[in-house]
Structure 1
Amino acid sequence: MNHMESAYGLWSLVIINSAIFIMFAFSFFKPNTTRDWRTFGAFSAFVIALFVEMYGFPLTIYLLSGWLQTRNPGLDLLSHNSGHLWSTLLGEKGDPHFGILHIASYIFLGFGFYLLSTAWNVLYHAQRQHALATTGPYARIRHPQYVAFVMILLGFLLQWPTLLTLIMFPILLVMYGRLAVTEETEMRKQFGAVYEQYAQCTPRFIPNFKRKTGNL
């Protein structure tokens, strides 16, 4: 890309990329309840905010332009590479797409979508049988779908941080945490002692690989 050639104002890419990731997540998550739609809606808002700054209008770059130019004289703020702020702030040379943080972001994104897919498959069959989901990722953590969304959000933040998404991230963490607690309350009412036994031997968010889930 030539110096001072803007990499932004590409609103068609904003729409296309937002649609791809949102529909991809929708195909795995398949929201049904109000709680599901709230979870998915918050995720979608994060994705749209991300791609608006990635290809539409670089609000974060604009707000930090003076400081960035002082810190990095000669930096082309309108280039796409400059938008990879972690690489810019760390002073990394070369294409940021091959940097360690970018590679790590792909790992988070890939595993996040994989976890979302496998968790939904287990939950779908459990719901059809009116049973408690305790196999697959549910054998290790009680809320794999929320963990999957967080991993995907982290992947995006490692790849393209913005002020808005950095503000949204902790808010979404609190939101998913509260939704998880609400969901557990409902499961206790529905499954009683069975869920209590499951909850006692299965961590909420962080898996304990040294401890196996008991038979339910």
Structure 2
Amino acid sequence: MNHGEAAYGLWSLVIINSAIFIMFAFSFFKPASARDWRTFGAFAAFVVALFVEMYGFPLTIYLLSGWLQTRYPGLDLMSHNTGHLWSTLLGEKGDPHFSPLHIASYIFLGYGFYLLSAAWNILYHAQRRHTLATSGPYERVRHPQYIAFVLILLGFLLQWPTLLTLLMFPVLLFMYGRLAVTEENQMRKEFGAAYDSYAQRTPRFIPHIIKTGSPT
């Protein structure tokens, strides 16, 4: 098969893209505690694993090559477009970069980074004042920073799914959930009844569709 220019083995692109997204997230999240670094480290590992397969070595394509060639005869396994597996599996034609799922991935990524930035701005000023962060995104949910990371991860999965990142995703969800509970316990020790009142009226992860004035 002739797939033109090499789509893989581009390790400089692996490094550049990984660095861009990791540093971009770092500029918003600014990890300080050991818990923050664990959260950010898991995110960074996901990003590196993604770009290694996107531009370095297509492990997922390699492992699924027999099945893919049987199901899609004539498919060029070494082309970049084939790596957009959702488009391949759904039988979409044309450039996968313009497919509905790929466009949706940009929305998830864009909003995820926006939410991460907005949440950090509120949290930063609250920490400086030694008060609870309860405004902005924190008025709707108790952990917008973790929601932001999940949206970013979903955006990447919609764009370029791999076996490794699909396995990592539920692990990261579990990890963020545990970190959120640990963080809440620390906030209760520091702020007591004030945090209990905030937690009673504010959902942990999923915001109320209709905002009400009474606790739920």
**Quick one: distance in 2 between partners of 1:214 and 1:133?**
19
Distance 1:25 1:89, change over 3 A: same
Q: Aligned ranges for residues 171-190 of structure 1 at < 5 Å?
A: 171-190=171-190
Calculate the aligned-residue CA RMSD, in Å: 1.3
* Corresponding letter in the other structure for 1:166: L
TM-score (norm 2): 0.97
Q: Aligned ranges for residues 86-97 of structure 1 at < 5 Å?
A: 86-97=86-97
- Residue in 2 aligned with 1:105? 105
**Quick one: distance in 2 between partners of 1:202 and 1:70?**
51
Deviation at 1:211, TM superposition (A): 2.3
Q: Aligned ranges for residues 1-216 of structure 1 at < 5 Å?
A: 3=3, 5-212=5-212
**Quick one: distance in 2 between partners of 1:71 and 1:6?**
24
* Corresponding letter in the other structure for 1:23: M
SS at match of 2:210: coil
Is this contact kept in 2: 1:140–1:209, CA < 8 A? no
Is this contact kept in 2: 1:14–1:56, CA < 8 A? yes
Deviations 1:32-76 (A, max 9, x none): 000000000000000000000000000000000010011110000
* Corresponding letter in the other structure for 1:135: S
TM-score (norm 1): 0.97
Deviations 1:95-122 (A, max 9, x none): 0000000000000000000000000000
SS at match of 2:7: coil
Deviations 1:133-186 (A, max 9, x none): 000000000000000000000000000000000000000000000000000000
**Quick one: distance in 2 between partners of 1:214 and 1:21?**
40
**Alignment length (residue pairs):** 214
**Quick one: distance in 2 between partners of 1:30 and 1:6?**
36
Over the matched positions of the two proteins, sequence identity in percent amounts to 81
**Which shifted more, 206-215 or 99-108?**
206-215
Q: Give structure 1 stretches of 5+ with no counterpart.
A: none
Which consecutive aligned stretches of 4+ in structure 1 deviate over 4 angstroms post-superposition? 212-215
Q: Give structure 2 stretches of 5+ with no counterpart.
A: none
**Quick one: distance in 2 between partners of 1:33 and 1:212?**
34
